[in-house]
Amino acid sequence: MRKNAPFMQQPDGCACPNVRTTAPVERPTRKASPGSLAKKLAMRATDRQTRPRMSLNRKLTAWEAAGLISEAAATEIRAFEARERRPVALWAIVGLGLLALALGILLMVSANWDRIPDALKLGTHIALAAAAAGTVWWAIAQSRPWLAEAALFMLGALVLAGIALQSQVYQLVGPLWQPLLLWLALMTPAMLLVGQTRLTGHAWALLAIAGPLALATENVDGKGIWLWAHGAAMATPAVLVILSFLPRIAAAFATAVRETAIIVLLAAASIAHFGWASEVTPAEAGEMAVRFVLPVLAAVAATLLSRRRAPDYMALWPPLLVAPVLAAALALAVPHPDVWVSRFVGVLLFAAVWGWIAREAARAGWNALFAVAVAAIAIRIFVIYIELFGSLAATGGGLIAGGALLIALALVWRRLVSRRTAMP
Amino acid sequence: MNHSNRPNLSNHSNRLLLAAALLLPLAGLAVGIATRQAALSDASQWAIPIAGYDPRDPLRGRYIAFTYAWQVEGSAGDCPDARCSLCLSRRSGAVVATIAPPGARCPARVDLAASAIEIRPSFGREPAPPAFASRIFVSESSAPALEQMLRERPMQVITSLTADGRLVNRRLQPAP
């Protein structure tokens, strides 16, 4: 380890900032150099690009002056921050521009439908899509990742618009799942290979969940093969987690896919557990059992793979991936009447799943997830008061007790989260 | 942007994979166009009179909803759950649609499910033949004029009937 490394391992094992042992060195002041106004502006622009954010700069200067860090450490931190700086605002504006462009193309096509010959519409669209695909290729060859990402986003929007355009030209009608699944089939390889950012990751994952979901809801009461189609849709989040560990996928894209999948899984399972508050007949339970075969298998496979590919959070994957599916299966695939006992069992299972998640999130240091889990349990405990009491007076009493309980839980939640945030 | 797993063209397999992934959406769109063009090139043309399903409000979003005002023959009982077909024919200049049970063969067969034609009950005298409802996409600029024409004068839809039984609405125009 270098002597002047900004973060040195201390004797107590803490990777803390270097404590300055020498006297403060006076910082060199920048003198105004002679030259034209244009040269000065260009220098200022270059300086703005390379220096770290002003707030950090001020803090580093203050820490340096207080003797907390050495000048070398401050210089290295500034250089590191300058290298890692991301043009977030620029890309937010570019993203909005691209979205407006895509929507504008769609509206222009719609508004001038009669004036444009079909062949011209379709030909222009194919040419635009080819240009977007060519730009992706060229940008990768030129090592311009942001341009490649923008062109990929544009290609995805154009393919979706193209499917809609063909539907309009040829007067095609059909259910929503058909264009969604067609888009997924055409764009998934490019998205997985080229996608680099969380934006494209979230967008692709949402469409990957929406497509099978639209297919499943096309015939909710369907039997036979439809039960397996419903199961396939329910297994999609776990399948996405598995896909996110494919070797060629970029880290930010994969993280976004996993985040979307886990949020959808937890939200769906939390809603599904309200099945305890209604009667499930043996016939309904039998059908649900068939539907849950694929989700359970996918969740187990995703957990096993996640534990191998992300061993740092080994204990967190079972409560995040398997527990919600099992809890939903118990709520919907086990026959039960609509009585208070079944509702209470549902609450206990809900609390067990989120409690497990909270425990493992706390151990892994995922404070945000810990906070969400505690909040979910608190809200569910509040809801049970409304569920269990029937009459007006009893519901009023339940609400008063539930409100008091919710305030108490909020205070406990705040204390727990504050304590966890304060922990190193 | 994370630099790990950034796509590159450094080796042959990378180039091949990326080229395939980028060509796939273009090929998919092109195949879609080619398939539909091929189906339409062999299609027979039918001019079918129409009526607005709801004459006061024919425009639904970006579509004009209508019912085919053809002469319906056959029994509605042969058409359970829209799984039946219609056999189109011309008689004295009028288009006749004969309800045919599933599996029946005819030279100009309309597959109701593939054509997304809805079967709706006719109100009034019983037993009455069902109404066959469809819709056509219209542009924002032409929608008001078409809507007014549907209210004021007889209209017809020019359709293409493909070999696989799909009746494609092409355009609306005044009936002769």
Query: Do B103 and B37 share a domain, yes or no?
Result: no
The CA distance from A293 to the nearest CA of chain B, in Å, is 30
Identify which of A214, A218, A205, A224 has the alpha carbon closest to the alpha carbon of residue A265. Answer: A205
Nearest Cα residue to B150 out of B127, B172, B126: B172
CB contact under 8 A, A194 and B138: no
A131 close to B (CB below 8 A): no
Instruction: Check whether the bond before B7 is cis (ω within 30° of 0).
Output: no
Q: Do A194 and B28 touch (CB under 8 A)?
A: no
Q: Which structural domain range is residue B27 located in?
A: 9-41
Pick from A381, A291, A382, A371: nearest CA to A328: A291
CB contact under 8 A, A166 and B32: yes
The separation between CA A175 and the C-alpha centre of its own chain, rounded to angstroms, equals 28
Please tell me whether residues B19 and B60 are part of one structural domain: no
CB contact under 8 A, A129 and B26: yes
Shared domain check, B82 and B49 = yes
Cβ neighbors of B51 (< 8 A, separation 6 or more) are B66, B67, B69
Residue to test with chain B: of A171, A193, A249, A257, most B Cβ within 10 A: A171
Assess whether B87 and B14 both reside in one domain.
no
Is B61 found in the same domain as B35? no
- Is pLDDT larger for residue B9 or for residue A18? B9
The pLDDT score that the predictor gives to residue A40 is 56
Strand B44-52 and strand B59-60: the pairing is unpaired
Q: Is B21 on the interface with A (CB under 8 A)?
A: yes
Q: How far is A339 from chain B (nearest CA, A)?
A: 38
Closest CA to B130 of B60, B50, B70, B59: B70
Chain A residues 269-298 with a CB less than 8 Å from chain B: none
CB atoms within 10 A of CB A36: 8
Mean pLDDT score, B107-135: 77
Domain shared by B160 and B120, yes or no = yes
Locate A383 and state its tokens. Answer: 């809801």
Chain B contact set for A163 (CB, 8 A): 29, 32
Minimum CA–CA partner of B30 in chain A:
A126
Q: Has residue B3 been placed in a domain?
A: no
Q: Which positions of chain A have pLDDT values less than 70?
A: 1-54, 84-87, 109-111, 113, 385-392, 394-395, 398-399, 402, 405-406, 409, 417-424
> Is A187 near chain B, with CB under 8 Å?
yes
- Which residues from A are below 8 Å from B169, CB to CB? 171
Same domain for B78 and B150, yes or no, is yes
Contact status, residue A306 vs residue A241, Cβ threshold 8 Å? yes
- Per-residue pLDDT reduced to its tens digit, B51-108: 876 555 555 556 788 889 888 887 766 666 666 788 998 888 889 988 887 677 788 8
Does B24 contact A140 at a Cβ distance shorter than 8 Å? no
Instruction: Please tell me the distance in Å from B74's CA to the nearest CA on chain A.
Output: 27
Question: A173 — contact with chain B (CB < 8 Å)?
Answer: yes
Query: Do B86 and B14 lie in a common domain?
Result: no
Interface test with A, best of B10, B33, B35, B142 (most A CBs within 10 A): B33
Instruction: Note whether residue B4 is domain-resident.
Output: no
CB proximity under 8 Å: B 75-114 to A: none
- Three-state secondary structure call for residue B174: strand
Phi/psi of residue B94, each to 5°?
Answer: -100, 150
Pair B76, B17 in one domain: no
User: CB distance from A136 to chain B under 8 Å?
Assistant: yes
Interface test with A, best of B13, B14, B23, B29 (most A CBs within 10 A): B29
Asked if residue A381 lies in contact with residue A348, where contact means CB atoms within 8 angstroms, the answer is no
- Could you give the ipTM of this predicted complex? 0.79
Of B21, B36, B116, the CB nearest to A189: B21
Q: How many domains does chain B have?
A: 2
Q: Nearest 5 degrees, angle CA A212-CA A218-CA A222? A: 105
Asked if B169 and A171 touch (Cβ cutoff 8 Å), the reply is yes
Identify the residue among A116, A170, A182, A245 best suited for mutation to test binding to B, counting B beta carbons within 10 A and taking the highest: A170
Does B61 share its domain with B102? yes
pLDDT digits (tens, 9 = 90+) for A258-297: 999 999 999 998 888 888 888 889 999 999 999 999 999 9
pLDDT recorded at residue B138: 80
| Closest Cβ–Cβ partner in A111, A125, A162 for B139 | A111
Amino acid at B58: P
Contacts of A196 (CB under 8 A, 6+ apart): A145, A148, A149, A250, A252, A253, B1, B2, B6, B7
The structure tokens 């061993």 sit at A311
Same domain, B32 and B115: no
Chain A stretch 231-260, residues whose beta carbon is closer than 8 A to a beta carbon of chain B = 247-252
One domain for residues B170 and B133: yes
pLDDT of residue B81: 62
**Which has the higher per-residue pLDDT, B126 or A23?**
B126
